Amino acid sequence: MNGNGKVKESSSAALMKIKTYLLALRPWSLSASLVPTILGSAIAYRSLGMYEFNFVIFILTIFTVITVHGAGNVVNTYFDFVKGIDNRKSDDRTLVDDILTKDEITSLGAILYLAGCTGFILLSILSPAKMEHLALVYFGGLSSSFLYTGGIGLKYIALGDVLILVIFGPISVLFAYMSQTGRLEWMTIYYAIPLALNTEAILHSNNTRDAENDKKAGIVTLAILIGRTASHVLYAILMFTPYSVFVVISVKYSYWFFLPLVTLPQAFKIEKQFRSETTLQSVPKETAKLNLFFGILYVVACFCAPNLPFITQRLVPNTSGQRCKLILPADAALMKIKTYLLALRPWSLSASLVPTILGSAIAYRSLGMYEFNFVIFILTIFTVITVHGAGNVVNTYFDFVKGIDNRKSDDRMLVDDILTKDEIASLGAILYLAGCTGFILLSILSPAKMEHLALVYFGGLSSSFLYTGGIGLKYIALGDVLILVIFGPISVLFAYMSQTGRLEWMTIYYAIPLALNTEAILHSNNTRDAENDKKAGIVTLAILIGRTASHVLYAILMFTPYSVFIVISVKYSYWFFLPLVTLPQAFKIEKQFRSETTLQSVPKETAKLNLFLGILYAVACFCAPNLPFITQ
């Protein structure tokens, strides 16, 4: 009996904990993302027809959007508490009342972001939309959910209203529509306007209610800037403008759009509550409920109206066909795995592996044997390598799409049809997901502050994508600067901080020799590909400065680290002479750089040198009696 009682108590406690976690997501607010997602899907249904509409994509889209929204709510809870905004009078007292700890809130947010990324990966595989279009909208939404209170904290500088207006309207509707149809149809934004205004009413009522508390905490919201009376006027505009829009659409296109007006009496009732300080407390939740019912009726109207204005309605024939699954023999499967591994350009991974090992070695010296965490060390390497590999795959994809890679290129994965574009896109997505998984585990185990670790990690992740994706920094001669920063200071700092929990900027000094040597890999690659890149219409530093100056720069990048090691050796410890063992090989590779015939192999040879030089440098840091600049 006693055993059964303990089991029941344990089950009850577990259920209570789950309920607490669910309440921490502020489920009443999730209608703000759920409704526009359903609306975008409904418009897509009308555009595609029953047979082309994919219900698996529909479920995945809802899951992805809701988890990211929930994560954003949790991030909001965390930063509002950390910055002293939430108190005993606040609506959200999850941290104030010790219902959950800061660590639990951080872990919950990380898990939700990971779940959202998992959903997005599956969605991008199934969706007919271009990977880059879907990623642009998704990561825009994900970043916004974090930056609302995290990072620069848009909420605290009166920009939260603008963000909510865009994200929980146009962006959510467009994301859902594009996930189904594969098309970027900007006219869907017109449909988002009524919902966006109604959703903004939720936030504005929340900020008006909390205005006094926010003012004391030193933050600025639109409600504070315009005052109580103007806030009431704005709330009324946000609440009732959508109904005016529906009246116009109903008269002009279809009477079905009168349907959302069923909620108008409730809207008047809530607006009346807004006027009084005593009833204002419940207005945000009541507005959110209204938003849900209002949105559902709007969706029904879009679903039932004979014609939808602005939207092309057509049945798209299924021309994709179904490829039957082929059970590959073991050797063919292994060959495929090998092909995927080669697509990561494994020879280049030393550029991220070495600074990660170096940062960890410095952390070991700072902490000592008993404090150093080898699980964190392995996780850090895994996280960094997977993101680097994903960046290489993204590079392959965009270099091919933009016509830069050809039969003469070093990377011919797509040129020679070794892998398809879809396979490359899926591989990149899986690697980014693996990297995010590693980061989540790392952030749970690491003593570092979640926001510090996230800032460095997502800075690296974004850079790996933006090198050729998005604005394509590689193509506008900014790739060299990016590589110099990411595969030097950022990687060393990330590894050091993951172990120690400290942001010690002096570690950047240790990154300089490696950063220069790593930049030599990229520069030799760009020098080799200069003619091809010029024909493709892109600009790199190697093209800008020409062949002779490129050789001089390569020599500087290769040999400056050795000069640094000599100075450190003489001044601090002879152990720093150790990397000079690789100097003869450096001279040999520099000689190969001079000739066009031997230049082809220089990037790979430089990467090999980088690996050995970095390992010897890490050994020197590990063995030297004292490390300059670092607290031991």
> For 512-531, what is each residue's pLDDT tens digit?
999 999 899 989 988 998 88
pLDDT digits (tens, 9 = 90+) for 295-350: 888 988 888 888 887 776 554 444 444 443 333 344 455 577 778 888 888 778 88
Backbone angles phi and psi of 361, in degrees to 5: -65, -40
What φ, ψ does residue 616 adopt, rounded to 5°?
-65, -35
In Å, what is the CA distance from 191 to each residue of 29, 203, 251, 312, 428? 21, 20, 16, 14, 33
Whether 614 maps to a domain, the answer reads yes
Q: What is the pLDDT of residue 533?
A: 83
- To 5 degrees, how large is the angle CA 419–CA 421–CA 426? 90
* Domain-located, residue 370: yes
| Cβ-count burial 212-232 (b if 16+ within 10 Å, e if not) | eebeeeebebbbbebeeeebb
The per-residue pLDDT for 321 is 44
User: Which percentage of the chain shows pLDDT scores above 90?
Assistant: 22
Q: Taking a C-beta distance cutoff of 8 angstroms, is the pair 27, 112 a contact?
A: no
User: Hey, what's the torsion of the CAs at 547, 552, 557, 560, to 10 degrees?
Assistant: 180
34 φ, ψ (degrees, to nearest 5): -65, -45
Same domain, 42 and 174: yes
Residue that is last in its domain, among 269, 304, 339: 304
Q: Which of 69, 206, 232, 202 is nearest to 142 (CA)?
A: 69
Task: Round the average pLDDT of the chain to a whole number and report it.
Answer: 84
**For residue 604, what pLDDT is reported?**
85
pLDDT per position as a tens digit, 80-109: 888 777 666 666 667 767 778 888 888 888
**Res 282: pLDDT:** 86
Q: pLDDT digit string (tens) for 391-413?
A: 999 988 988 888 777 776 667 78
pLDDT at 153: 80
| Structural domain that includes position 580 | 351-623
- The predicted structure's pLDDT at residue 313: 55
Same domain, 298 and 443: no
Q: Indicate the residue among 248, 269, 304 that finishes a domain.
A: 304
Residue 235 has pLDDT above 90, yes or no: yes
Higher pLDDT, 304 or 246: 246
* Close Cβ partners of 241 (under 8 Å, ≥ 6 residues apart): 194, 197
In a domain, 20, yes or no: no
Measured between alpha carbons, how far is 336 from 415 in angstroms, rounded to an integer?
17
221, 355: one domain: no
For residue 243, the model assigns a pLDDT of: 94
Statement to judge: residues 266 and 400 lie in one domain: no
Q: Are residues 238 and 102 in the same domain?
A: yes
Residues 394 and 294 grouped into a single domain: no
312 falls within a domain: no
Residues 483 and 584 in one domain: yes
- Distances, alpha carbon 109 to alpha carbons 84, 105, 121, in Å: 19, 6, 18
Contact by Cβ (8 Å): 616, 582: yes
pTM score, whole prediction: 0.52
- CA distance to 78, 484, 488, 495, 563, per residue, from 357 (Å): 32, 17, 12, 8, 22
**DSSP labels, 533-546:** HHHTT-B-HHHHHH
What is the DSSP-derived secondary structure letter of residue 150? Answer: S
The per-residue pLDDT for 329 is 40
Q: pLDDT class for 560, splitting at 50, 70, 90?
A: very high
